[in-house]
């Protein structure tokens, strides 16, 4: 959420930043609501002062025996009391309007972020590893998995509909190996604290990280009001909601492996084959809570943590910085890491690492204090996939596919796979 004081101080700059996101000017409308709210607050304070002054004179009028003045003052006190109640209710309504308006607006991009309306405006910042030359035409992951008999979309559709999969045997073991490898690496080498969180959350948690109110259709809600998390960013970030942390407790770096659920609203016709875009999937998510001055450096650190997983698995990838028009709702700067998928002959996203500044912290009222006498300040929050497990499975299958339909198991994963070196075309470990 945005600081209304910054909009008051420079409405033109606020609108210019929104324009980079492809949005129309909003400052005038927001400031009109803010002015109406402040006017009612001021009027209520003025009416309260008048009521208090009249209240002091009521007793004096009665003591003097001035019954007419006593009745006038008593009526005035009653009228001011009713006026104050009305003004306070109106101020409360305007405050709610202001909050709703601010909640609906995305974060402002950093000035250094490239301009652009969509992914075509993203800028590549690095590339690691060259795509392999295959002595055969590379297949897509679902062709390999289905031929092994270990990737079943037909049964999943019978159970749940489209955009689900049933994995079995060596492939689900490889999937599990990837998640365990990622967690172990982030905890043992990158210093993150492994955290287990619920996958069902209240409205407040989804509001805090920006999934609500604007993107309700992108998530699933149970009949009794819980939301299924679209990412552990929601739960990990909200662990500090409503808190005032000691500066010594920062940075707080967490990682969680969870199920995630997304309705994929608006994605009809996109990635209908295979596992790339699923309603239910697993992700290893990183979240950092830091001081404002540490946000940008922490983003680079988080990006390195995600890239390091791909380095270890020897999977080619590139990293792009997203342009202003392609960033997520809560981000002020985002890196997307894209793996090379030889079956698709294209780079596809496997991680997004974002610095949100104090945008989420304001929504959650998450703050910290510098020293015992310091004034509470909003923390900065960051999140990033470290990585999406299903997409990592896709990348391993396609990158390490063999001519006979088998798949080589990357060396870091073999200790989780009974020391097997490959999955044969018949789906057995060898």
Instruction: Give binding residues for L-serine as ranges.
Output: 231-233, 262, 285, 383, 385
User: Alpha-carbon distance 403 to 394, whole Å?
Assistant: 17
User: 378 pairs with which residues across the strands?
Assistant: 367
Q: Which residues contact 42 (CB under 8 A, 6 or more apart)?
A: none
Name the catalytic one among 37, 173, 262, 363. Answer: 262
User: Alpha-carbon distance 15 to 23, whole Å?
Assistant: 8
Using CB atoms within 10 Å of the CB of residue 211, give its burial: 0 to 12 exposed, 13 to 18 middle, 19+ buried.
buried
Name the catalytic one among 37, 185, 391, 422. Answer: 391
Annotated catalytic, 62? no
270 upstream amide cis, omega within 30 of 0: no
Sheet of 244-246: strand order equals: 244-246, 367-369, 377-378
Annotated catalytic, 72? no
Largest CA-CA distance found in the chain, in angstroms, rounded: 109
Name the catalytic one among 97, 221, 277, 291. Answer: 277
Q: Give the residue from 289, 311, 261 showing the smallest Cα distance to 361.
A: 289
Annotated catalytic, 94? no
User: Alpha-carbon distance 205 to 363, whole Å?
Assistant: 10
User: Alpha-carbon distance 255 to 249, whole Å?
Assistant: 16
Annotated catalytic, 247? no
Binding site feature residues: 231-233, 262-264, 285, 349-352, 383, 385
Using CB atoms within 10 Å of the CB of residue 346, give its burial: 0 to 12 exposed, 13 to 18 middle, 19+ buried.
exposed
Name the catalytic one among 179, 219, 288, 352. Answer: 352
User: Alpha-carbon distance 319 to 341, whole Å?
Assistant: 14
DSSP 3-state assignment of 403? coil
User: 261 pairs with which residues across the strands?
Assistant: 280
User: Alpha-carbon distance 220 to 302, whole Å?
Assistant: 28
- Kindly give the residue spans of alpha helices, DSSP state H, lying in 118-237: 141-148, 153-160, 169-188, 203-209, 233-237
Name the catalytic one among 88, 349, 377, 402. Answer: 349
User: Alpha-carbon distance 214 to 425, whole Å?
Assistant: 46
Q: Which residues are catalytic?
A: 262, 277, 349, 352, 391
């Amino acid at each position: 959420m945005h600081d209304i004081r910054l909009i008051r101080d420079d409405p033109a700059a606020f609108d210019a930043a929104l324009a980079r996101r492809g949005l129309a000017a909003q400052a005038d409308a927001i400031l009109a609501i803010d002015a109406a709210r402040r006017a009612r607050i001021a009027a209520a304070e003025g009416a309260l002062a008048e009521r208090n002054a009249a209240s002091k004179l009521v007793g004096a009028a009665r003591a003097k025996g001035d019954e007419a003045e006593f009745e006038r003052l008593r009526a005035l006190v009653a009228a001011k009391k009713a006026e104050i109640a009305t003004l306070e209710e109106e101020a409360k309504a305007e405050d709610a309007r202001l909050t709703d308006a601010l909640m609906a607006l995305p974060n402002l991009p950093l000035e250094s972020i490239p301009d652009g309306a969509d992914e075509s405006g993203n800028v590549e910042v690095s590339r690691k590893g060259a795509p392999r030359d295959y002595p055969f035409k590379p297949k897509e992951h679902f062709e390999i998995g289905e031929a092994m008999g270990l990737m079943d979309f037909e049964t999943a559709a019978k159970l749940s509909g489209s955009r689900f999969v049933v994995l079995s045997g060596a492939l689900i073991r490889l999937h599990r190996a990837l998640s365990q490898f990622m967690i172990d690496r982030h905890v043992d080498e990158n210093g993150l604290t492994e955290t287990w969180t619920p996958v069902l959350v209240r409205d407040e948690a989804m509001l805090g990280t920006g999934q609500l109110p604007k993107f309700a259709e992108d998530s699933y809600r149970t009949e009794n009001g819980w939301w299924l998390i679209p990412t552990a960013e929601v739960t990990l970030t909200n662990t500090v909601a409503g808190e005032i942390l000691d500066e010594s407790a920062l940075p707080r770096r967490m990682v969680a492996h969870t199920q995630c659920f997304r309705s994929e609203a608006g994605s009809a016709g996109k990635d209908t084959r295979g596992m790339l875009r699923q309603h239910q999937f697993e992700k290893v998510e990183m979240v950092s809570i830091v001081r404002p001055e540490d946000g940008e450096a922490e983003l680079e650190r988080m990006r390195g943590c995600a890239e390091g997983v791909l380095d270890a698995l020897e999977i080619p990838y590139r990293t792009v910085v997203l342009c202003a028009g392609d960033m997520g709702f809560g981000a002020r700067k985002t890196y997307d890491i894209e793996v090379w998928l030889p079956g698709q002959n294209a780079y596809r996203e496997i991680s997004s690492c974002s610095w949100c500044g104090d945008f989420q912290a304001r929504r959650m009222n998450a703050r910290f204090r510098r020293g015992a006498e310091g004034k509470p300040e909003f923390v900065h929050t960051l999140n990033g996939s470290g990585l999406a497990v299903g997409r990592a499975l896709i990348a391993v299958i396609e990158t390490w596919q063999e001519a006979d339909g088998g798949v080589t198991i990357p060396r870091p994963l073999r200790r989780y796979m009974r020391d097997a070196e490959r999955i044969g075309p018949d789906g057995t470990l060898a």
